[in-house]
Structure 1
Amino acid sequence: MTIQRDRYLQQLKDSRFNGQVKVITGLRRSGKSYLLFKIYYEYLLSTGVDRKSIIQIMLDDDTYEMLRDPDQLSKYIRSNITDTNQKYYVFLDEVQYAISVEEMKNPDKPIKLYSVLNGLLHLGNVDIYVTGSNSKFLSKDVMTEFRGRGDVIHVYPLSFKEFYDHVGGEKAETYEHYAMYGGMPFALSKHTDEKKMQYLSSLFTEVYFKDIVERYSIELQSILGQLTDSLCSSIGSLTNANKIARTIGSARGKQVSSETIAKYIEYLSDSFLFKEAKRFDVKGKRYFHYPNKYYCTDIGLRNARLNFRQQEESHIMENIIFNELVLRGYQVDVGVVEITETTKNGDRRQKQCEIDFIASSGSTKYYIQAALHTEVGEKREKELRPFLNINDSFKKILVTKTYAKPWTDEKGILHIGLYTFLLDENSLKL
């Protein structure tokens, strides 16, 4: 049974022959290739496109190793474009294999692949789609390199809605399964808990770490592993490179530089395994330099890396909400609100309170708190205190792990159940 990725298929439909290179990026094994070579391929055939006019190249397959040379790649594609009156579709999978390490590391060195793709665009009858699993492919400013002719589509692991639409069942039970094993598409084909665990665990050692080690010539591979464990263990907690370096150094009995840790965090983020959430001062309208938070792109991968031992329900829920907001296209930050409180001695002091997320898109902004339960009395007041100390009029939302239907309290705060939030893409606008 095909897993529907309607959000991304629609983006591909809308961008068909728009004169731009479609860059389909995201975490490896999150479904990019399946989207392009299965779902979109079948869509094109259904519209009458001839199979022979779809040129497919999988650069991570050693069969195509010779085509990792941009010059050879260009010759091969052009040799298959034989009719100037015919429209052609070029699918390139895992295109980072055609970009050298030197090109990645040197911002002043032009990337040959970009000129190859631009040259193909100039033919006029070629529509180009590439997938890539490393943000370094984009970090040299793909839009500039393509002279405004790059169209980025980011594919994420299955959202809870995509997962639920595929497997069905009782919402709370399906959520617990999702919160354990996440949304990596191929994991759905594994029919036992043991096989799901084995598959998710193997992705780090057999795919992600190998990619990072080979591409960046990592010497301290054990440090990379310990760092990954630390980030997975501390989702939803404030951290920085200095703190992690001290923790790992203490465990090893040998000092680790914060520069090395910062560099390795960058590699893990570039591979889309983690995403940073910066802290934003709501009243001061500024970002803090550190500490920040890191969230796992897929909660199942996080759990697998920790051998499914750390099941902090609230942090897992927070990570899932963060991923959902990012998937919906929001810039997501952690909010900080400074409030004045009176101590037992009658003294007044300033205290920083945290808002789990600030979700921003253009001129739209939402303040969001996540809680397992709807608290009452003093606990409820503490949960909502940051909201009540914000002076602007943007919507404030409390998401709780309940079936509660959306309702707004006397202070203007929208209360919404977790399952409604995750399953209704317009839930923030309710």
Structure 2
Amino acid sequence: MTSRDVLLDVVSYWDNIIQNENVIHRDIADKIEQTYEMEEITVITGVRRAGKTYILYELYKKHGGLYVNFEDERLYDFTLDDFEKLTSIADEMKTRIIYLDEVQEVRGWEKFAHRAHKKYKIFVTGSNSKLMQSEYSTALVGRTTTFRVFPLLYPEFLRFRNLKVERGSFEEYLRTGGFPRVVLTGNAELLRDYLDRIIYRDIAGREELKYPEALRTMAVYLLSNAGKEFSYRSLREITGIRHEVTVREYLSHLQNAFLLEVIRKYSPSLKVQEGYAKKVYASDVGFLTLGRRATKDLGRVLENAVYLHLRSRYDVCFGKNSREVDFVLCENLKPVRVVNVTYEAKDKKTVNREVSGVNHFMEKYGVPGEIVAMYPFEAKDVSVRLAHRFCSEIN
């Protein structure tokens, strides 16, 4: 239990913090703001440190309300019953807006939200996709509007750093990634801290995993091999985990924490896709600096950045038969576009490989296609887009 006096101190403390914080606008905040007049609970998810809290700050500064961050150590003994004290404080403040940041720290929070959402406009954030799955979902079915917050893509990176669209700024984005605090401070060491917090706190601690070091080994291995196919057998060998079911479980945890994203070889059938080969991409290119080889393979970093740009609009698969294409972009399971990515094409062999892959799948699916490259080159019958221009376009 948390006393009412402590809650009053916490609410006052965070109000002071937010009012004195310099907040840079995020594009997704405009969409989230449209839910103020909706009765549904507004749920904001995404990888740790992607900027969910600062979006709440932005909304709080504009609309007011009561804000609580459940990672505040003074709230470690906060229980479901303490929500009654919070709502009484909100009533005294004459506000009907309540922001519950990192709410997954409170067991049973969804019961409160279910009961209170008709009287109060409730915003909740959490760093795990399970926030609206399994044990949480039943009580709130049909009563939520959910948004996922990603680390900054290139257009927002430019705004945060006050830079222009050019190759140099894009190269800086590839080196830095899009976590807001890393972008603003230039402190890449924060990325290692983010990774360890995700592994040991958000996953291993919460799920009580038996092999946390194996989980970290798996994460670093996959980050080192972003854009490459992987198998459960290879993950068993690299981690030393004996059973495939455990490997699948651990990979699922990495996805649920939004650290990694898995894509599959394209098929018009989701069931068939499930049995096909898989590739993994990092949720932010900054994480690739933590792998053993990725920083030397600039093509992989660029491919990951292009993937992040594309998945904000499309369902993304890859294409492979006698030829390969990096991305098959789909809407309602139907291909609408194909894209290959190469850092540079210095020789005829590389040009032919990239062009033939795109042409093959353009003809196969009857869709347009293009090649995205860091440096320009001539390609017959296929458009070549410069990466910094391509990724600056807002989908």
Relative to structure 1, is the Cα distance of residues 277 and 172 closer, same or farther in structure 2, using a 3 angstrom cutoff?
A: same
The equivalences for 1:103-114 within 5 A come to 112-114=108-110
Cα drift, residue 142 of structure 1: 6.3
2:5 maps to none
| CA pair 264-143 structure 1, distance change in 2 beyond 3 A | closer
1:367 to 312, 329, 338: 338
For 1:285 and 1:418, how far apart are their aligned partners in 2?
Answer: 33
User: Of the candidates 162, 166, 172, which is equivalent to residue 171 of structure 1?
Assistant: 166
In the alignment, residue 327 of structure 2 is paired with which amino acid? Answer: F
State the 1:394 CA deviation. Answer: 2.2
Q: Residues 259 and 392 (structure 1 numbering): CA distance in 2 closer, same or farther, change over 3 Å?
A: closer
Partner of 2:49: 29
1:106 corresponds to which residue?
A: none
Residue 132 of structure 1 is matched in structure 2 by 126
User: Is the CA contact 2:232–2:248 (under 8 Å) kept in the aligned structure 1?
Assistant: yes
Q: Which residue of 2 aligns with 1:58?
A: 69
Residue 98 in structure 1 maps to residue 106 in structure 2: yes
Decide which of 59, 62, 79 is 1:43's aligned counterpart.
62
Distance 1:215 1:98 in 2: 12
Q: Report the CA distance shift for 1:217/1:142 in structure 2 as closer, same or farther (over 3 A).
A: closer
Instruction: Give the AA of the match of 1:58.
Output: N
Higher helix share: 2
Alignment correspondent of 1:115: 111
1:214-229 mapped onto 2 (5 Å cutoff): 214-229=205-220
CA-to-partner distance for each residue in 1:80-107, whole Å, 9 max, x for gaps? 34389x65111001011123xxxxxxxx
Distance in 1, Cα, partners of 2:296 & 2:268: 31
Change (3 A) 1:77 1:172: same
C-alpha distance in 2, partners of 1:373/1:4?
A: 34
Give 1:169 deviation, angstroms: 5.4
Q: Deviations over 1:328-355 (max 9, x none)?
A: 232111123x3xxxxxxxxxxxx3x222
3-state DSSP class of the match of 1:358? strand
Q: Which residue of 1 aligns with 2:9?
A: none
User: Do 2:375 and 2:386's aligned partners in 1 also have CA atoms closer than 8 Å?
Assistant: yes
Q: Which residue of 1 aligns with 2:364?
A: 391
CA–CA separation in structure 1 for the residues paired with 2:101 and 2:54 = 10
2:335 and 2:138 map into 1 onto residues whose CA distance is: 27
Instruction: Decide whether the 8 Å contact of 1:373 with 1:400 is kept in 2.
Output: yes
1:275 aligns with 2:271: no
Aligned counterparts of 2:188 and 2:160: Cα–Cα separation in 1: 20
TM-score where L is the length of structure 2: 0.84
Matches of 2:220 and 2:280, distance apart in 1: 12
Q: Could you tell me whether the CA contact under 8 Å between 1:240 and 1:290 is conserved in 2?
A: no
2:390 pairs with 1:421: yes
Q: 1:321 aligns with which of 277, 301, 306?
A: 306
Q: Which secondary structure state, in structure 1, belongs to the residue aligned with residue 364 of structure 2?
A: coil
- Report the RMSD for the aligned CA atoms in angstroms: 2.9
Q: In structure 2, the residue corresponding to 1:391 is in which secondary structure? A: helix
Q: TM-score when scaled to structure 1?
A: 0.78
Equivalent pairs counted in the alignment come to: 371
Question: SS of the residue aligned with 2:344?
Answer: coil
Structure 2 residue identity aligned to 1:152:
T
| CA distance, structure 1, for counterparts of residue 131 and residue 294 of structure 2 | 35
Structure 1 unaligned runs (5+)? 45-50, 100-111, 250-254, 339-350
Q: Of the two, which has the highest radius of gyration? A: 1
2:18 maps to what in 1? none
- 1:48 maps to which residue? none
Structure-1 residue corresponding to 2:183: 188
Task: Tell me, in whole angstroms, the C-alpha distance in 1 between the residues paired with 2:247 and 2:70.
Answer: 30
